[in-house]
Amino acid sequence: MEYLLIFAVIFPAFAGFLGFMVNKDSIKIYGIVATFLELIFTLILWGLFDNSLGGFQMLTSIPIIPKFGINFIFGVDGISLFLVILSAFITFIALIGLGDMQNIKNLIISVLFLEMTMVGVFLSLDMIIFYLFWELSLVPMLYIIGAWGADKRIYAAVKFFLYTFAGSVLMLVGILYFAYMYYVSSGGIWSFSFIDWQTLKIPFDIQLWLFGAFFLGFAIKVPMFPFHTWLPYAHGQAPTIGSVILAAVLLKMGTYGFVRFLLPLFPDAVVHFLTPIAVLSVIMVIYAALVAFAQNDMKQVIAYSSISHMGVIILGTFALNVEGVSGSIFFMISHGIVSGALFMLVGVIYDRRHTKLMSEFGGLASVMPLYAAIFAVIMMGSVGLPLTIGFVGEFLSLAGFYKVNWLLTAFGGCGIILGAIYMLKLYRKSFFGIVIKKENKGLKDLYTREICALVPMALLVIILGVYPKPLLSSIEKSVKNTIETMHNNAEKYETKSFLEKVSSKGDK
């Protein structure tokens, strides 16, 4: 099993290359089988994973340019494990739900290459390799939006690419400078290994600059306010499968970067900038929720809803305690499932009516009862109803940040109320009442492929909401390890004191 992680990374790309030789009439089945096998590989990783350990497991290293310390280094811990599984699961489900599209062969091949980059981001522990996967993920998504999107797809694709690429360049500068600092401190040894980097204590003034370079790269990907303007365009113009993968997985790459790299490498800078980041997160939560309420387009409601929920995830991340950070990671997973399902549900009705405007519907529950029932379950997960998957991560994130600042937590909690308002508004206008427009009277309920894609997601919303322990038990061990690394790498006494305070406050 030494090279299982490398196999999990390269298999989707290998399947993508073979896909060029598959007949276009068989390519969808081929893509479903390939992504199912990848999902099995990731579940095997979970089966081999030792929940009692907090560090990296199944470490694999293959030299690439050893003179400069660049290697294929892959490892998995509780922070990355379920994001890898989420990537494989969402890709598999998205292909099952994929309807007939023009040039579908190239689309499926693009999705397979995109899956490779997503898994690579979450498993890479060499910063250059991580950066390569991070950048490569832009290419297939750019193609997916630009080739299969709506009328303004080129503008949306270019805006998505330029925003995220600009942030990535800043991060690359930070990576190179950090490697140079390690070279100097180690007496002339180059290393881009994140494991090596964790042993290096960075002076506070340099931490501030490096933190800024990494933070901007991750913040644009999330996207944090005020860098969020590319996301509604990307979602609005992307095909359904593009929106599903973008919301469910690609946005999580930014918040994953916060947890994986910012917290352990720059603890003093994290604490220094904690309050302004929390304020921006609260603005994200409230502002995006209010904008979502004002929308008439279903897809735009869910797009702004994603921005609002990502604000809560960031609050949990910067709680800097086990409850908050564990909650934020669980919320990444739950939001991935819920947002992916919501975009797929909007795609279902768009395929039938070629419109996403709530004003064009009404009374859908009487015409499409199964569709309405599944939409209701997913919606409850989105608003954080207790015993659904959305409640667990949202509650833990806010409970963790309550130890840091109760006032900002209270404002952040308003997102739960606002989320219920705009989602219930969407459901009321679209599903309740009588069918007025004649175009809606003959709409067909869910097809078999749509049921096969949506039912597993609806079941996960309930199952993991009732019993989240299998995920949280693995996540918490690795989060504790990250918090300990923060404490060890902190140079300032104030940082160590703050970390001890937020970790113990309220504990008995």
Number of Cβ within 10 Å of residue 204's Cβ equals: 16
In 10 A of CB 236, how many CB atoms?
Answer: 18
Per DSSP, 62 falls in state E
Is 211 within a domain? no
Asked whether residue 229 is domain-assigned, the answer is no
Residue 386 forms part of a structural domain: yes
Residue 389 covered by a domain:
yes
pLDDT above 60: residue 507: no
Summarize pLDDT for 263-299 with one digit per residue, the tens: 999 999 999 999 999 999 999 999 999 999 999 999 9
- pLDDT, tens digit (0-9, with 9 covering 90-100), for 303-353: 999 999 999 999 999 999 999 999 999 999 999 999 999 999 999 999 888
Residue 403 and residue 499: Cα distance in Å, rounded? 11
Query: Three-state DSSP class for 51?
Result: coil
Query: Residue 73: which region, alpha, beta or left (left: phi > 0; alpha: psi -120 to 50)?
Result: beta
Report the C-alpha gap between 269 and 360 in whole angstroms.
50
Nearest CA to 501 among 487, 481, 480? 487
Q: Is residue 25, in this structure, part of any structural domain at all?
A: no
Residue 10 confidence class, pLDDT cut points 50, 70, 90: very high
- Host domain of residue 416: 274-466
How far CA 194 is from CA of 9, 125, 199, 247, in Å, comes to 18, 5, 9, 27
Contact 385, 461 (CB under 8 A): no
Looking at the domain assignment, is residue 331 inside a domain?
Answer: yes
d(CA 368, CA 442) in angstroms, rounded, equals 10
What is the overall mean pLDDT for the chain? 91
- Give tens-digit pLDDT for 40-74: 999 999 999 998 888 899 999 999 988 888 999 99
- For the cut 70, the answer to whether the pLDDT of residue 106 exceeds it is yes
Choose the weakest-confidence range: 18-22, 232-236, 283-287, 410-414.
232-236
**What is the C-alpha to C-alpha distance for residues 222 and 253, in angstroms, rounded to an integer?**
7
Indicate if the pLDDT at residue 241 is higher than 70: yes
- Distance between CA atoms of 475 and 482, rounded to whole angstroms? 11
Paired sense of beta strands 70-76 and 57-65, if any: antiparallel
In angstroms and rounded to an integer, the radius of gyration of the C-alpha atoms of the chain is: 22
Alpha-carbon distance values, 118 to 45, 250, 461 (Å): 16, 7, 23
Tell me: the pLDDT tens digits for 367-389?
A: 999 999 999 999 999 999 999 99
Q: Phi and psi for 460 in degrees, rounded to 5? A: -65, -35
**Using CA atoms, how far apart are residues 95 and 72, in angstroms rounded to an integer?**
29
Distance (Å) of CA 212 to CA 120, 174, 205, 219, 224: 24, 9, 11, 10, 14
- Asked whether residue 419 is domain-assigned, the answer is yes
**Model pLDDT, residue 373:** 95
Rounded mean pLDDT of 238-251? 91
- Model confidence pLDDT, tens digit, residues 430-485: 999 888 888 888 889 899 999 999 999 999 999 999 999 999 999 999 999 999 99
Count of domains in the chain?
1
Which distant-in-sequence residues (6+ apart) come within 8 Å of 486 by Cβ?
Answer: 263, 264, 267, 270, 320, 499
Q: How confident is the model at residue 235 (pLDDT cuts 50, 70, 90)?
A: confident
Does residue 506 surpass a pLDDT of 60?
no
Percentage of the chain exceeding pLDDT 70:
99
Would you say 111 and 91 are in contact if contact means Cβ atoms under 8 Å apart?
yes
Q: Which residue has the tokens 């290096």?
A: 200
Q: Which amino acid is at 418?
A: L
Query: Does residue 508 have a pLDDT over 60?
Result: no
